[in-house]
């Protein structure tokens, strides 16, 4: 009999890669997605269109499919938008997640939650460990933290079991080029560099070179989306083995400045990225770097891919989807 895992947000970037890896490993992913930002081409197998906040539909789906776990990727992810429309982020990322959590609790289903490095805000020291102060500086980060706290209390008081995964900078695509990142709007550095190379935008604007870093630009910790997917499988197997709820960082523990990323993109694709220096973007911490020691030692997770592979896979994906990308980003 197949072992089903419900993937809320499984038509999105990280969710679709994880669903694909689950299928490869013999699980049966059931995709539940409201398709607000997901892509039908990224879904293989059954897709149920629905909101995480739709209690009636989600409970019927859970009763019907009886998954062994729920992976919850269904979040709004734009930091800037969250500062303009906080209510949208509270409605989807908090209220929606609480419905999902209640239904999981009622049925004794463990939850794997997509959290973010945004829960830390500007760190006092790097690398950032899981027990660092949690001081989000955006509504987006705050909504992730609210859900983490709800999970923690429900675990402590009601026996819910969960793993919360705090992603640093997700990047890359499946090595085959089938799955990858096509966010509208796109706000992330690596895809924006590639869009500039492909002519989908005139150039990349680098947000400031007056940070306290060696070249003055911000430093981030990029992690391949398939390494994130692998961590979800390890978290699933941890919970299925009956082990305790945990919170884990997911980063490569290597930092690259924005100028280093631009240079690496130029090297991998064999063409210079058109770019210019611009102003700081409000809310960007100078350095974000994970300590992933906890998940490495407890679950044996080890990222496979480095920066150049992330860029190479993302470039293969974009080239394979050039016509679609042109349609999605024309005039944007």
**Active-site positions?**
140
- Which residue, 32 or 89, has its beta carbon nearer to ligand UFG? 89
Q: Which of 22, 204, 228, 235 binds ligand UFG (CB under 6 A)?
A: 204
Q: Which of 20, 249, 258, 292 binds ligand UFG (CB under 6 A)?
A: 258
- Which residue, 105 or 290, has its beta carbon nearer to ligand UFG? 290
CB distance 290 to 128 below 8 Å: yes
155 binds ligand UFG (CB under 6 A): no
- Which residue, 243 or 281, has its beta carbon nearer to ligand UFG? 281
82 binds ligand UFG (CB under 6 A): no
Q: Which stretch binds ligand UFG (CB under 6 A): 3-11, 104-112, 204-212, 232-240?
A: 204-212
Q: Closest separation between CB of residue 141 and ligand UFG, Å?
A: 6
77 binds ligand UFG (CB under 6 A): yes
23 binds ligand UFG (CB under 6 A): no
What SS3 state is found at 220?
strand
Angle at 228 between CA 147 and CA 71, to 5 degrees: 45
Output phi, psi for 239, to 5 deg. Answer: -70, -40
Q: Which stretch binds ligand UFG (CB under 6 A): 38-46, 52-60, 148-156, 183-191?
A: 183-191
79 binds ligand UFG (CB under 6 A): yes
152 binds ligand UFG (CB under 6 A): no
116 binds ligand UFG (CB under 6 A): yes
CB distance 112 to 230 below 8 Å: no
Provide the b/e sequence for 21-53 (b: ≥16 CB within 10 Å). Answer: bbeeeebbbbbbbbeebbbeebbeeebbebbbb
Q: Which of 118, 151, 235, 268 binds ligand UFG (CB under 6 A)?
A: 118
Q: Which of 6, 52, 160, 189 binds ligand UFG (CB under 6 A)?
A: 189
35 binds ligand UFG (CB under 6 A): no
218 binds ligand UFG (CB under 6 A): yes
200 vs 255: CA distance, rounded Å: 27
Q: Closest separation between CB of residue 256 and ligand UFG, Å?
A: 9
**If we measure between CA atoms, which residue out of 42, 318, 36, 39 comes closest to residue 200?**
318
- The length of the chain is 332
What is the size of the binding site for ligand UFG (CB under 6 A)? 22
DSSP string, 121-181: -S-SSSSBPTTS-----SHHHHHHHHHHHHHHHHHHHH---EEEEEE-EEE---TTSSS--
The H or E element that residue 282 is part of is: none
Task: Write the CA distances from 313 to 96, 177, 190, 263, integer angstroms.
Answer: 33, 7, 11, 16
284 binds ligand UFG (CB under 6 A): yes
36 binds ligand UFG (CB under 6 A): no
- Give the binding site for ligand UFG (CB under 6 A): 77, 79, 116-118, 140-141, 169, 187-189, 192, 204-207, 218, 220, 258, 281, 284, 288
């Amino acid at each position: 009999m197949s072992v089903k895992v419900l993937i809320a947000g499984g038509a999105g970037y990280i969710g679709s890669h994880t669903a694909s890896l689950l299928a490869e490993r013999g699980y049966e992913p059931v995709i539940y997605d409201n398709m607000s930002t997901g892509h039908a081409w990224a879904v293989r197998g059954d897709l149920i269109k629905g909101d995480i906040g739709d209690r009636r539909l989600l409970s019927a789906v859970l009763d019907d499919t009886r998954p062994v776990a729920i992976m919850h990727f269904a979040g709004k992810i734009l930091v800037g938008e969250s500062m303009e429309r906080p209510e949208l982020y509270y409605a989807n990322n908090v209220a929606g997640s609480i419905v999902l959590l209640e239904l999981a609790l009622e049925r004794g289903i463990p939850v794997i939650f997509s959290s973010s490095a945004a829960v830390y805000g500007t760190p006092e020291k790097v690398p950032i460990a899981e027990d660092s102060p949690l001081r989000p500086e955006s509504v987006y980060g705050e909504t992730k933290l609210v859900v983490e706290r709800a999970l923690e209390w429900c675990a402590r008081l009601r026996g819910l079991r969960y793993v919360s995964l705090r992603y640093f900078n997700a990047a890359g695509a499946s090595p085959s080029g089938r799955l990858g990142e096509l966010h509208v709007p796109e706000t992330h550095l690596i895809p924006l560099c590639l869009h500039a190379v492909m002519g989908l935008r005139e150039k990349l604007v680098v947000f400031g070179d007056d940070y306290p870093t060696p070249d003055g630009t911000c430093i981030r910790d990029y992690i391949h989306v398939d390494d994130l997917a692998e961590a979800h499988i390890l978290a699933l197997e941890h919970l299925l083995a009956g082990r305790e709820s945990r919170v884990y960082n997911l980063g490569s523990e290597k930092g690259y400045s924005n100028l280093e990323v631009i240079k690496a993109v130029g090297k991998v694709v064999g063409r210079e990225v058109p770019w210019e220096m611009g102003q700081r973007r409000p809310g960007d911490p100078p350095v974000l770097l994970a300590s992933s020691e906890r998940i490495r030692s407890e679950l044996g997770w080890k990222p496979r891919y480095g920066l150049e592979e992330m860029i190479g896979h993302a470039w293969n994906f974009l080239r394979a989807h050039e016509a679609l990308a042109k349609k999605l980003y024309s005039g944007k």
